[in-house]
Amino acid sequence: MTENFTDRRDRMVDHLVEQGRIERASTAAALRAVPRHEFVPEERRRHAYDDRPLPIGEDQTISAPHMVGIMLDLLALDPGDRVLEIGTGCGYHAAATAEVVGTENVYSVEYHESLAERARARLTALGYGDISIRVGDGHAGWPAHAPYDAAYLTCAARAIPERVLDQVRDDGGRLLGPIGSRWQTLVLLRKRSDGSIDREDHGGVRFVPMRGGE
């Protein structure tokens, strides 16, 4: 069964590359390395390498592989970059990010304690134990480890979370996430050293809503 999962994972990534949905070699390598089937409920494992989101409990989902790949591509991460993730969920996206930047450089905030505990145990068992996870409101980010080279949201914020943006470094730091209500736009912000911010919109998406807030 493990070999079957590996073959299916490789075919999934091959398909995403052929479609042009992911372009960076580091992104393809990350998606090939992370065993997505280990991050979904056992009864959903037969669908682990379908390119679609799947429920993981607490009304949350694991993102479709193409979306994780697109976000990794857009952030253009390098080894050693310090990255803040808002919304740990099952831990899959954090593991993929860690494949690029290193496990010790990923900091993730999860609103639901139950999901955080399961993700922490799962990541440790799979060799990603140096990923840092805390339970809290993602709108506040994780200032203790700022500044970050990049931050991303795995859940939809109604507006740009300013405190998260503040924790991204000024000279080229990036913030990526779905912004909006029922339907969102995938927005990439890049901070410049002169204090200005460049914005790029990358199409319509639909994510579960970000919890917490003021």
Residues 105, 115, 186: CA angle, nearest 5 degrees:
65
Annotated catalytic residue within 26, 63, 108, 114: 63
* H/E stretch holding 212: none
Residue entry with tokens 């970059």: 81
193 is catalytic: no
* Positions of E strands within the chain: 54-57, 60-62, 83-86, 106-110, 132-135, 150-153, 174-180, 184-191, 197-205
CA-closest candidate to residue 178, choices 76, 81, 95, 63? 63
Q: Which residues are tagged catalytic?
A: 63
